Copies of this chain bind each other. A is one copy, B any other.
Amino acid sequence: MFESAELGHRIEKASWDREVPGLRAALLDAQYDLAAAKKFPVVILIAGVDGAGKSAVVSTLNEWMDPRHIQTNGLDEPTDEELERPYMWRYWRLLPPKGKIGIFDGSWYSWPILQRAYGKISGERLDQDMDLVRRFEQMLIDEGALVLKFWMHLSREAQKKRLKKLEADENTRWRVTPRDWRHFKLYDTFREVSERALRDTSTGQAPWIVVEATDARYQKLTVGKVLLEQLRARLDNTAQPRAQVQAPPSIVSIDGVNILQKLDLSRKLEKADYEKQLEEFQGELNLLTRHKRFRDHSVICVFEGQDAAGKGGSIRRITQAVDARFCRIQPVAAPTEEERAQPYLWRFWRHIPRKGRLLIFDRSWYGRVLVERVEGFCSEADWMRAYSEINDFEAQMAKSGTILLKCWLAISKEEQLRRFEERQNTQFKRFKITEEDWRNREKWDAYEAAICDMFDRTSTEIAPWTLVESEDKLYGRIKILKTLCRRIEEAL
């Protein structure tokens, strides 16, 4: 993998002087077209061995282009707010919006490679991490991002020479830390681990570009030219490359039976029984959220369901039971301008809570495979890939200690009509009913198909769906509270 980057590539000063002005002008042009169109973001990773001049390359890119449209992210130790969330949260925070270039000096690769080289994680764990990274990058690409990954390579000898040279010069001595020398001693290990990581993550749409770093002119010119070529190609090719998708089968179930219809909506709870159980489970929920070990977890509840299924009432039965300081409801409405400039899941990632908190999403990322699918707000390719992106998202949350509860509140079409009419006739409830609700109701069957697909594809062991028979509101609320208590209890 690194052989071509040990050939002693060089660019003479004369040819550098000849080439750079044109390259600069062309890069600026491309950058301005990018900023004007605001169609996609550019994600550039500058990775590689110590002493390979990564920060010099970053500086040069900033110099050749307009730094106002570049976000340079130099990543150091994560903060505690970052540590209390899934690993990728800090990178989601830093993604460039459409029209901008984000340069990552230090990236999602740094930690796994370092940990593996020092033997702190197993090879299997590295593979898992690289799998996560590959899926993340695939998501970026599917969302339209141009992803360019540069690996700056130095042979063992070249690295040693470089570190010594930096150390010899008073002005650059600070760049060489004891850590660099510790890493150097592990050169072969690092090389092996890096090669494994690169091999695993060099995909057709986001290949690694290994650049020999012994000659700074060669290195910078290579990065600049590759960037220009790739950027120009994406800008000029107006037909966005789209992954081919297999159209999903239009027949969901040939006998017309589905999981929603199999629910027993006749389940009921008497008022007295409800009140007793409400008190019991609210008390239990309260105790659980004040448990010492709860501070190592967070809870995310997702509420989805047919309109008027009773989401609001069920949410309130939870919030009543827990300390308001640690609880938050995140209603999901149309994305803002800043959110529209980012990958779909960005607007959910940004709300991921710290440990010890409870967050309730009133509607969620599942909008992608429900309303957006049914109403045609996104392409088939977009909602088809959403299932696996969502599974990845939830897996990451679960891995970081998040307890996930996903509730689908189900009612019959007849019950919905009854509630719609009641809402229209009750003064303080009429804000809950809009024209849109009536329109959605007309598409009941299309929604039902989407809902069943969603269950099949996203009800996983780590994040199962809880189907809540909500024809009787009291029964539904208790089932939710009880399930939430059980899930927290299991986790503690």
* Chain A positions near chain B (C-beta within 8 angstroms): 21, 24-25, 28, 32, 55, 58-59, 62-63, 66-69, 71-72, 74-76, 79-81, 105-106, 170-171, 174, 279, 283, 286-287, 290, 312, 315-316, 319-320, 323-329, 331, 333, 336-338, 354, 362, 427-428, 431
Per the bound structure, the CA–CA distance linking A21 and B427 in Å amounts to 9
Q: In the complex, which residues of chain B have a beta carbon less than 8 angstroms from the beta carbon of A25?
A: 427-428
Given contacts A80-B79, A81-B80, A316-B62, contact A323 B55 (CB under 8 A): yes
26 A/B residue pairs, CB under 8 Å, sorted by A: A21-B428, A24-B428, A25-B427, A32-B431, A55-B323, A55-B324, A59-B319, A63-B316, A67-B312, A67-B315, A68-B331, A68-B333, A68-B362, A71-B328, A72-B324, A74-B324, A74-B325, A80-B80, A80-B81, A81-B81, A105-B325, A171-B279, A174-B287, A174-B290, A336-B337, A338-B338
Centre residue among A75, A323, A327 by max chain B CB count within 10 A: A323
Q: Are A72 and B328 in contact (CB under 8 A)?
A: yes
Min CB distance, A182 to chain B, in Å? 19
Q: In the complex, which residues of chain B have a beta carbon less than 8 angstroms from the beta carbon of A32?
A: 431
Q: In the complex, which residues of chain B have a beta carbon less than 8 angstroms from the beta carbon of A336?
A: 336-338
Q: Are B24 and A74 in contact (CB under 8 A)?
A: no
Q: In the complex, which residues of chain B have a beta carbon less than 8 angstroms from the beta carbon of A68?
A: 329, 331, 333, 362
- Which residue in chain B gives the minimum CB-CB distance to A432? B66
Q: Are A325 and B106 in contact (CB under 8 A)?
A: yes
Q: Are A59 and B324 in contact (CB under 8 A)?
A: yes
Min CB distance, A437 to chain B, in Å? 15
Given contacts A428-B21, A431-B28, contact A75 B106 (CB under 8 A): no
Per the bound structure, the CA–CA distance linking A354 and B427 in Å amounts to 49
Per the bound structure, the CA–CA distance linking A59 and B282 in Å amounts to 15
Q: Are A329 and B55 in contact (CB under 8 A)?
A: no
Q: Are A324 and B79 in contact (CB under 8 A)?
A: no
Q: In the complex, which residues of chain B have a beta carbon less than 8 angstroms from the beta carbon of A312?
A: 67
Per the bound structure, the CA–CA distance linking A72 and B66 in Å amounts to 41
Q: In the complex, which residues of chain B have a beta carbon less than 8 angstroms from the beta carbon of A283?
A: 170-171
Q: In the complex, which residues of chain B have a beta carbon less than 8 angstroms from the beta carbon of A62?
A: 316, 319
Given contacts A67-B312, A325-B106, contact A59 B431 (CB under 8 A): no
Per the bound structure, the CA–CA distance linking A362 and B62 in Å amounts to 14
Q: Are A74 and B316 in contact (CB under 8 A)?
A: no
Q: Are B324 and A105 in contact (CB under 8 A)?
A: yes
Q: Are A324 and B58 in contact (CB under 8 A)?
A: yes
Given contacts A62-B316, A68-B331, contact A79 B428 (CB under 8 A): no
Given contacts A81-B81, A105-B324, A319-B59, contact A431 B66 (CB under 8 A): yes
Q: Are B79 and A354 in contact (CB under 8 A)?
A: yes
Min CB distance, A442 to chain B, in Å? 24
Given contacts A290-B174, A329-B67, contact A79 B76 (CB under 8 A): no
Per the bound structure, the CA–CA distance linking A424 and B192 in Å amounts to 51
Q: In the complex, which residues of chain B have a beta carbon less than 8 angstroms from the beta carbon of A79?
A: 80-81, 354
